[in-house]
Structure 1
Amino acid sequence: MSMSATVSRVENEKVLVLERVFDAPRDLVFKVFSEAEHLKRWWGPRGWEVPVCKIDFRPGGVWHYCMKCMDQSQGEFYGMESWGKGVYKEIVKPEKIVYTDYFSDAEGNVDENLPATEVTLEFVDQGGKTKLVNRAEYVSAEALKTVIDMGMLQGISETWDRLEEHLNEVK
């Protein structure tokens, strides 16, 4: 089965919009973004695992996670850990999740040197399929350019490939 493509565009120089259609019902796509046991199985690029994933899925609640590179072929990334922290702002089940995304450490302390991102996930019902729209607003055009230069688009694309594979397994 062929993967559908992730479409990306930039709005207002600092908002990255990513869209993709998944062949799975909206309730399920929403669910795999809101439960730790699902996220642990698909979140992150290929070769990365999620050894820690804690979610308090409510406005004001925190999602704290660790991604770890388990793929030796990724060279200097092998064994690297990357901690992230999301704070949920708005949840409209099964339509929308809004959160602020931070870089953090293992204790959940936010890294003030790296820019936070406002993320809005929209889940659009398309008759048994679901269009996922991910809007990420960065503090500046420079901040957006920095993450794109870091290879974030490939990372998101691989993550959504893994999401598609996970949905095909559980639907």
Structure 2
Amino acid sequence: MSHHNLYIDNKLVISRDFKAPKNLVFKAWSEAERFEQWWGPAGFSTSVINFDFRPLGFCHYCIESPDTLKMWGRFIYKEIIPNKKIEFLNCFSDENVGVIRAPFNETWPLEMFNILTLEEDNGITTLTLIIAPYNASDTEIRTFGENHENMELGFKGTFDRLEDYLLKN
């Protein structure tokens, strides 16, 4: 575990409050037809190709930009505690579910480990997402560390979409 400290030091923590019960927020992540309504950058459409929400199951999806650029992604679920926690590995993938390099950066970590937790208080659910490079080289870990701000912006856009979805449901 020589990379353990780097993994801890380079984690990105994103937290957001939603005016929704935690079981609904959990459903937004755990049901394909909900997930595809909000996942991905603003302006993109998401289609789920495979969605097997259980430990060691996987989600394979495609996001498409307004100018029809397609990108695929994959989640492999690790630990799932209903309405409380989802641990998963995610990566960019090809249409055959293989792992590929991020299209925007050749030193981006191939896979990232995510721990999502939900806590509800007075009808407000706090979603906390911890993201860290997984099995990454020193260069990949450094690239990830240098891009925390970009990732925060990206997730802000995605979580804005989640917020809109939750308000309507």
Q: In which range does the TM-score fall when normalised by the shorter chain?
A: 0.7 to 0.9
Query: What is the TM-score normalised by the length of structure 1?
Result: 0.82
Q: Deviations over 1:138-160 (max 9, x none)?
A: 235413135447x3222110100
> 1:45 Cα shift?
1.2
Match for residue 79 of structure 2 among 90, 100, 105: 90
Query: What is the TM-score normalised by the length of structure 2?
Result: 0.83
> 1:80 Cα shift?
1.6
Report the RMSD for the aligned CA atoms in angstroms. 1.9
Residue 4 (structure 2) aligns with? none
Q: Is the 8 A contact 1:67 1:82 kept in 2?
A: yes
- SS where residue 136 of structure 1 aligns? strand
Q: Is the 8 A contact 2:12 2:148 kept in 1?
A: no
Residue 93 (structure 2) aligns with? 104
- SS where residue 46 of structure 1 aligns? coil
Match of 2:68, as an amino acid?
G
Partner Cα distance (2:32, 2:132) in 1: 24
Q: Is the aligned partner of 1:164 residue 2:163?
A: yes
Q: Structure 1: where are the runs of 5+ without partners?
A: 1-10, 71-77
Percent sequence identity is: 35
What is the number of residues matched between the two proteins? Answer: 152
Residues 146 and 63 (structure 1 numbering): CA distance in 2 closer, same or farther, change over 3 Å? Answer: farther
Q: Is the aligned partner of 1:123 residue 2:118?
A: yes
Q: Is the 8 A contact 1:96 1:123 kept in 2?
A: yes
Residue 142 (structure 1) aligns with? 142
Q: Deviations over 1:83-113 (max 9, x none)?
A: 1111000000010000011111011011267
- SS where residue 32 of structure 1 aligns? helix
Deviation beyond 2 Å, 4+ runs, structure 1: 51-54, 145-149
Q: Is the aligned partner of 1:26 residue 2:17?
A: no
- SS where residue 42 of structure 1 aligns? coil
Q: Is the 8 A contact 2:14 2:152 kept in 1?
A: no
Residue 154 (structure 2) aligns with? 155
My pick for the range that moved more, 126-135 or 105-114, is 105-114
> 1:82 Cα shift?
1.5
My pick for the range that moved more, 154-163 or 107-116, is 107-116
Q: Structure 2: where are the runs of 5+ without partners?
A: 1-6
Partner Cα distance (1:153, 1:40) in 2: 20
Residue 44 (structure 1) aligns with? 40
Partner Cα distance (1:68, 1:146) in 2: 26
Partner Cα distance (2:26, 2:143) in 1: 28
